[in-house]
Structure 1
Amino acid sequence: MNNLYNHSDVNNLLERLKHLTVDSKRQWGTMTVDQMLAHCNVSLETAMGLNFPKRKFIGRIFGKLIKLKFLDKKPMVKNSITEDFYITDKNNFEFEKERKRAIELISTFYQNGPEKCTTHPHSYFGKLTPYEWAVLKWKHYDHHLRQFGL
């Protein structure tokens, strides 16, 4: 399965990010391209242990069931639920800064390997293995790059 510990999967995302422009148009949703990048970046920072969103009550009840859906081989569905902590569509961000940050974060996550992945639970899914984080974050960037035609 595609993930952020696989060299070719990481290169695929990085190449797609290079083709993203400030003028890229969304195919669905409400975020602008700069907001999408900031959203993905703050989410990857969670997997890297750089921020710590609180567990959601609903996640404690349904998290394990929902987790299976998000970690399967299918692409994420359009307009999936978004944790409040990651909502960025009320702010404007600098496109080039966020794209550069995405490239740096993805590269660092890959280079750090599983040993440096967070042990903090996901706000909805609870405890994830490093591999599950790597799959989830690859799927997240893939989902939003597809949202912008890549």
Structure 2
Amino acid sequence: MNSLFNTDTQADIIKRINNLHEKSQPKWGTMDVGQMLTHCQKPLEVANGNLELNTQIGFAKKLMFKLFKPVMYNDKPWQKNLGTVKEFRITDTHEFHAEKDKLVHIINEFSTKKNKQDWPAHPMFGTFNTEQWGKMQYKHLDHHLTQFGV
């Protein structure tokens, strides 16, 4: 499984981001390209410790998310049109170039943390180790870049 902590994988993701343009259209889903770039920043900001979510979930959902957790970082691609937490839903307009530059910056910040041990807890899935964070962030970006055909 690819990881954003792998230098070649990181470079490939950034190359794919740079292949996007303002008129890139999704193959599925409702976000436009600016919204998608903004959406992709959010999980990285959580991992980087720059965004804290106060998502409260009950016991039954916690159990369900615990069972679903390995899907976040295993080798299988994510399904199209998966749901997301409300804090990651982007519905307003976002400027393409600014959001693209910001996403690349956040990816670069994240990728320097391959030796980090004290990751923040994910608001729904709990703790992830460094390897899982790297795989999960790659998988999320790959999912959305595939959504936009790059």
TM-score, normalised with respect to structure 2: 0.92
Q: Please list every run of 5 or more consecutive structure 1 residues that lacks an aligned counterpart in the other structure.
A: none
Q: Give the corresponding residue for 1:110.
A: 111
Measured in 2, the distance between the counterparts of 1:118 and 1:66 equals: 22
Gaps of 5+ in 2: none
Query: How is 1:8-27 mapped onto 2 (pairs within 5 angstroms)?
Result: 8-27=8-27
CA 1:30 to 1:118, structure 2 compared with 1: closer, same or farther past 3 Å?
farther
| Matched positions, count | 148
Runs of 4 or more, structure 1, over 6 Å off, are none
Two-structure CA RMSD over aligned residues (Å): 1.5
TM-score (norm 1): 0.92
Q: Distance in 1 between matches of 2:115 and 2:42?
A: 19
Q: What is the 5 A alignment of 1:122-137? A: 122-137=122-137
Q: Is the 8 A contact 1:48 1:118 kept in 2?
A: no
Q: CA deviation at 1:62?
A: 1.4
> In the aligned structure 2, how far is the partner of 1:13 from the partner of 1:3?
10
Report deviation, 1:118.
Answer: 5.8
1:99 is aligned to 100
Of 77, 82, 85, 2:84 maps to 82
